[in-house]
A and B are shown apart, each in its own frame.
Chain A
């Protein structure tokens, strides 16, 4: 496209279908403890 450059896979919808396994880390156990960022975490679901 000439005017719009899409950067990523935009696959959030697909993750919902197979998501919710609960294996990933509780976000507050990382390096914050006083705020909340979830999008920097890794998915740990086994393929």
Chain B
């Protein structure tokens, strides 16, 4: 399978199954509309007759030979032979956990997928006993996995920070005896970050996600306090304190959500950059199309253009020798994850689970409260391996739209939760997400390709 696209004056050709990326001229681009394996020794007569109206015949023949040569080298029209690996990660250990340390929040963000913090199941904080059981569960189910990931999530985790600290201390106390290494991460809205919390996060958390949408008027329209006032002025100060003190070897991102209200979201990315935040993730809201802020199909042309605008702005910053990183343009074309990892996305429900304050286990944070996907409980020892198997088997070859999609080894079948929530089935690709994802990938592939050309020269 190949995929080709035109962007910013370049013709980009992707060989899906080898991961090969090629920049091609117009002749190659047009010729590839008309030829495919099996290839003969010379360009087919009808194709030559058609293309020689536009291009010199000898050039067409030469180009044809180049295509055949790359095909013979297995970096063009290469075979998809990964399906045999799809069963490899069934019955995988559980190695990652989203720990819902707080089903309460001190903001009332209008687009919150967690029903403004309580996930629709009531405001509640996790107690230490439950968190401790969660750590024990993760160790027990992780088999030979050395690195275990725990994300303190909410709601707002800082509302239950004492338990966060106790849990980290407990998990660390079990590292030596079990041979495991814990990697902690958290997300915070920044409303009540004390110096003690900042120091703890910076010492213990390998990544921290700082929620802010961008410009003050954009942020304060959606990210509001209980009394309806905006959060921007408070969180900016707190996030700056955290980032200023953050060790250089630890990750962090400011992360925003864009909605129909700010389809010019590249302005928000630039605003965050100008404030001194150079690790940025801004992504589309996922919401019921009936919501006034929801992104719909009609918004896509505008959004696609905006990603191109954003790429130009980022390229300009980098051309000045400055650093900026946009999460959804990050792509490693040579040393990224292996093909097997790429068959099934985040691993939710299989190697990744979420645990609620009540100790209930779900495939991920977005499934919390969906009864049919409750996998078990830390308090009665139950853990439904049938649900786990169902998620393990939800990979790019069992998702009909993904199987034939050029982007499948980049998004890896997308978000199962979005598939379930908006399409009714974890195997049914959420079309809106897919379209946005594909555009981001095209932009990212070209950006990376140009960067590699620059480096080579």
Residues of A within 8 A of B17 (CB): 12-13
Chain A 31-46 per-residue mask, 1 if CB under 8 angstroms from chain B, else 0: 1111111111111110
Q: Which of B51-108 contact A (CB under 8 A)?
A: 59, 62-63, 66-67, 69-70, 74-75, 78, 81-82, 85, 88-89, 92-93, 95-96, 98
Give, as a whole number of angstroms, the nearest-CB distance from B345 to chain A.
Answer: 5
Q: Which of B33-41, B146-154, B301-309 contacts A (4 or more CB under 8 A)?
A: B146-154
- For B, the interface residue count at a CB cutoff of 8 angstroms equals 91
A27 B346 Cβ-Cβ under 8 A:
yes
Is there an interface contact between B19 and A11, defined as CB atoms closer than 8 Å?
A: yes
- Nearest chain A CB to B360 CB, angstrom units: 18
Binds A, one of B233-241, B292-300, B313-321, B412-420: B412-420
**Smallest beta-carbon distance A12→chain B, Å:** 4
Contacts of B47 in A (CB 8 A): none
Q: Does B171 contact A (CB under 8 A)?
A: no
Chain A's nearest CB lies how many Å from the CB of B180? 12
| Cross-chain contact of B334 among A9, A32, A34, A40 (Cβ < 8 A) | A9
B18 within 8 A of A: yes
**Does B341 make an interface contact (CB < 8 A)?**
yes
Choice from A5, A18, A33, A42 contacting B22 with Cβ under 8 Å: A5
Chain A residues with CB under 8 A of B365: 33
Total A-B contacts with CB atoms under 8 angstroms apart:
218
Given A4-B70, A37-B411, A38-B410, residue A24 in contact with residue B341 (CB < 8 A): yes
Q: Which residue of the partner chain, among A20, A40, A43, contacts B331 with CB atoms under 8 Å? A: A40
In contact, A10 and B92 (Cβ under 8 angstroms): no
A26 to B145 CA separation, bound complex (whole angstroms): 12
The secondary structure that dominates the B interface is mixed
| Surface stretch bound by A, among B23-31, B129-137, B190-198, B220-228 | B23-31
Q: Is the CB of B437 within 8 A of A10?
A: no
Interface pair A25/B411, CB less than 8 Å apart: no
A10 to B15, CA, bound (A): 8
Indicate if the CB atoms of A7 and B22 lie closer than 8 Å.
yes
Q: Does B1 contact A (CB under 8 A)?
A: no
User: Is B391 part of the binding interface, using a Cβ–Cβ cutoff of 8 Å?
Assistant: no
Chain B residues near A11 (CB, 8 Å)?
A: 18-19, 334
B338, A6: Cβ atoms closer than 8 Å:
no
Q: Are A23 and B345 interface neighbours, CB within 8 A? A: no
Do B337 and A38 touch (CB < 8 A)? yes
Find out whether the CB atom of A20 lies under 8 angstroms from the CB atom of B341: yes
Alpha-carbon separation in the docked complex, A29 to B24 (Å): 36
Chain A nearest CB, measured from B20 CB (Å): 3
Instruction: Tell me if B212 is interfacial: C-beta within 8 Å of chain A.
Output: no
Let me know if A31 and B149 touch, CB within 8 A. Answer: no
Q: What chain B residues lie within 8 Å of A29 (beta carbons)? A: 96, 98, 149, 151, 185, 207, 352
Q: Which residue of A lies closest to B184 (CB)?
A: A29
| Cβ-closest chain A residue relative to B151 | A29
Given contacts A7-B452, A24-B337, contact A13 B78 (CB under 8 A): yes
Contacts of B81 in A (CB 8 A): 13
Across-interface contacts of A8 in B (CB, < 8 A): 19-21, 333-334, 449, 452
CB <8 Å contact, A33 and B25: no
Using CB atoms, name the residue of chain A closest to B338.
A19
Q: How far is the CA of A42 from the CA of B158 in the complex (A)?
A: 29
Nearest neighbor of A43 in chain B, beta-carbon distance: B337
Which of B82, B183, B336 lies in contact with A39, CB distance below 8 A?
B336
List, in ascending order, chain A residues with CB within 8 A of B410's CB: 37-39
The interface of chain B, by Cβ under 8 A from chain A, is 13, 15, 17-25, 27-28, 59, 62-63, 66-67, 69-70, 74-75, 78, 81-82, 85, 88-89, 92-93, 95-96, 98, 113, 145-147, 149, 151, 153, 183, 185, 187, 207, 209, 253, 255, 257, 281, 283-284, 286, 327-328, 330-342, 345-348, 351-352, 364-366, 409-415, 418, 433, 437, 440-441, 449, 452-453
**What are 12 A-to-B residue pairs whose CB atoms are below 8 Å?**
A3-B66, A8-B333, A12-B339, A16-B85, A20-B338, A28-B364, A31-B253, A33-B209, A35-B328, A36-B413, A37-B328, A37-B437
Chain A positions near chain B (C-beta within 8 angstroms): 1-13, 15-16, 18-45
